[in-house]
Structure 1
Amino acid sequence: MSAIRTQGLRKVFGSVVGLHGLDLEVRPQTVFGFLGPNGAGKTTTLRLLAGLSRPTAGRAWIADVPVGPESPARGQVGYLPEEPRFYPWMSAGEFLAVYVGGLFRMDARQARQRAGELLERVGLQDVARRRIGGFSRGMRQRLGMAQALFNGPPVLLLDEPVSALDPGGRRDMLELIGELKEERTIFMSTHILEDVERICDTIGVLNHGKLVTVEAREALLSRYAVPGVEVEFQADARSVAAWAESARREPGVQAVEVEGSAARLRLDGGPQTGARVQASVLGSGMAVERFQVARPTLEDVFLHLVESS
């Protein structure tokens, strides 16, 4: 059984095609990272999966139940939009226990207990009585996660779940997501590629409303890796920066990033390019502390896929 499945999912806004026939399958109890540039169609996809928007064509299923505005599949999904909205005059505890608990027709005592558990899980237990109107965007994002979890759905749809959080909050949220995948399936879009590389089992890349690839994280890094080298010199930053400028002009060098006395070069993959870079390093006149093949990052792979699609 698939946790999430789509077939020919298409969405058109007037004369603009937001999503071109998306075919996708997500296994249960995994974290699926959904990547793409702004306007690629990620939020459109999430809203379609949540049953908040009707597709122009195609179908989607949650746990093999067809998705739609009136479908029981909506009860199988917890949805966190990028900017969740709340009643500002309510406290966090009231919102969850009274409003969300009421939506799910939960007994008042049970709803208060569930609200307390979730506020503690997302780190808001100390502000349970504070009005939401005074919350920061990061606090609202945490409350949105509690709302998405309220009825214990088997599938979570998260749109940029850590974008408004400070480093500590981001770490806590990622740890929570890692824990939750033991219990449910998580489908998350984010622009923070480091987070995807850290917690996602499978990655899908969307560009211009079209699915470029879907693959397990490690397989994707291996298959689409852009070759590169890292060099660290025993020299001052100005000398290294001057060398980097000349290295950028070498045929086959796609990009050079400099940080202090170290440089990272992205190459086109040809053996002659590597040989030219090595010759350039040796001919720089600077002592070399370290020269090694760079492990590809998800950012390298993402840029490669988007630029070539």
Structure 2
Amino acid sequence: MTVALEVSALTKTYNGKHALDAIDLTVEEGSIFGFLGPNGAGKTTALRLITGLTRPTSGVVRVLGHDVARAGNAVRAQLGFLPDVPAFYDWMTAPEFMRFAGGLFGVERSVLTQRAGMLLDSAGLGGVTTRIGGYSRGMKQRLGIAQALINAPQLLLLDEPTSALDPIGRKDVLDMIDSLRGRTTIFFSTHILGDVERVCDTVAVLDRGRVLTQAPIPELKARYGTHKISMEVTGSADALAAAIAQRPWAGAVTRENVGSIEATVTDVRAAQHDIPRLVVDHKAGLIRLEAGEIGLEEVFLDLIGEAHS
């Protein structure tokens, strides 16, 4: 495995309080890595440390094998970065802004013109003559990703690129991120679980400055039971839920409303065989019984719940 980004015991303290508390991360080259956590978890602080915009209290960040704190501009030039609220010159057009961004990196003019056109096409902005001040939020985010790629970075860092977007804008941005799979390494920071599940290969969960876990998404789901059973019954739901919780195939059992029960299960076939009998034993009526795969949301909530308990 070739590592694009490695973070070791990274700590950042402000006024005696840990914004990040000795976190470790390993990001494989060519992957789309989801950095998932609630607002205030420390994600933006981590990105500022990775880009070298601020220095750690302790710990090391290695990008492409180089210590960021000691690296020169040659290593930083291999990074692309989209902050959570990107800034633009509203009076510019997209091609003008791309040429401006490329000029800051010293990209040769002949290369810059071709690359800017290609990136704007991939962002769905090719041929758009409107000045940036007239763009929607989604258009600005897509332009932001395009400009972050103008230097052909080996590591692309995205800070909440889909937050505050409408569903169409989110889809456009996620499609663009997915289209970059294998072409560069993407570090995708977000609090939106569905976005991570859609495009990411591996995820790390951050909460209150600490990494709770890091794993490929299928492996993470497998740790917590790969399936769930949802059912709706008439009567005796509390007693039935308690009986299900005692079965060897049952994981977490939850109640959402009067007649609903949901359980994570390790053996879905055994659960589907046992549940009707348990329903009969408890003199309940079975209205609905459905099996499905567990989602990242359930895993995330379990992890956060364990960390706060």
Q: Give how far 1:283 is off.
A: 3.8
Contact map agreement 2:230 2:263 (CA 8 A) in 1: no
Instruction: Tell me the TM-score normalised to structure 2 length.
Output: 0.82
Secondary structure of 1:125's match?
coil
Match of 2:218 in 1: 218
Q: Give how far 1:226 is off.
A: 8.2
AA aligned to 2:41 is A
Structure 1 unpaired stretches of 5+: 234-239
Match of 1:140 in 2: 140
Match of 2:299 in 1: 301
1:56-205 equivalent positions in 2, closer than 5 A: 56-68=57-69, 70-97=72-99, 99-127=100-128, 129-205=129-205
Q: Give how far 1:219 is off.
A: 0.8
Contact map agreement 2:225 2:264 (CA 8 A) in 1: no
CA distance in 1, matches of 2:81, 2:155: 9
> 1:41-96: CA deviations, max 9, x gaps?
11111111111121111111111011138543211111111111112222222111
Which deviates more from structure 2 when the two are superposed, residues 295-304 or residues 5-14? 5-14
Contact map agreement 1:33 1:196 (CA 8 A) in 2: yes
Secondary structure of 1:265's match?
strand
Q: Give how far 1:172 is off.
A: 3.3
- In the TM superposition, structure 1's runs of 4+ consecutive aligned residues that sit over 6 Å from their partners are none
CA distance in 1, matches of 2:166, 2:58: 39
Contact map agreement 1:61 1:73 (CA 8 A) in 2: no
Residue 276 and residue 304 in structure 1: after superposition, are their counterparts in 2 closer, same or farther (change >3 A)?
A: farther
CA distance in 1, matches of 2:226, 2:302: 7
- Percent identity reads 43
Q: Give how far 1:130 is off.
A: 2.0
Contact map agreement 2:138 2:173 (CA 8 A) in 1: no
Contact map agreement 1:7 1:23 (CA 8 A) in 2: yes
AA aligned to 1:306 is I
CA distance in 2, matches of 1:281, 1:48: 58
Match of 1:208 in 2: 208
Contact map agreement 1:86 1:132 (CA 8 A) in 2: yes
CA distance in 1, matches of 2:217, 2:72: 35
Contact map agreement 1:254 1:268 (CA 8 A) in 2: no
Residue 110 and residue 165 in structure 1: after superposition, are their counterparts in 2 closer, same or farther (change >3 A)?
A: same
Contact map agreement 1:202 1:216 (CA 8 A) in 2: yes
Match of 1:39 in 2: 40
CA distance in 1, matches of 2:188, 2:281: 41
Q: Give how far 1:193 is off.
A: 1.3
Secondary structure of 1:113's match?
helix
Residue 264 and residue 13 in structure 1: after superposition, are their counterparts in 2 closer, same or farther (change >3 A)?
A: same
Secondary structure of 1:168's match?
helix
Which deviates more from structure 2 when the two are superposed, residues 224-233 or residues 110-119? 224-233
Residue 130 and residue 115 in structure 1: after superposition, are their counterparts in 2 closer, same or farther (change >3 A)?
A: same
Alignment of 1:279 onto 2:286 = no
Computed over aligned residues only, the root mean square deviation of the Cα atoms, in angstroms, reads 3.1
Q: Give how far 1:112 is off.
A: 2.7
Contact map agreement 1:8 1:59 (CA 8 A) in 2: yes
CA distance in 1, matches of 2:194, 2:147: 26
Contact map agreement 1:203 1:215 (CA 8 A) in 2: yes
Contact map agreement 1:225 1:301 (CA 8 A) in 2: no
Residue 228 and residue 133 in structure 1: after superposition, are their counterparts in 2 closer, same or farther (change >3 A)?
A: same
CA distance in 1, matches of 2:162, 2:190: 8
Instruction: Tell me the TM-score normalised to structure 1 length.
Output: 0.82
AA aligned to 1:73 is V
Which deviates more from structure 2 when the two are superposed, residues 7-16 or residues 149-158? 7-16
Contact map agreement 1:42 1:189 (CA 8 A) in 2: yes
Match of 2:262 in 1: 265
CA distance in 2, matches of 1:180, 1:138: 18
CA distance in 2, matches of 1:255, 1:55: 44
Residue 96 and residue 231 in structure 1: after superposition, are their counterparts in 2 closer, same or farther (change >3 A)?
A: same
Contact map agreement 1:9 1:19 (CA 8 A) in 2: yes
CA distance in 1, matches of 2:14, 2:265: 38
CA distance in 2, matches of 1:231, 1:145: 43
Secondary structure of 1:26's match?
strand
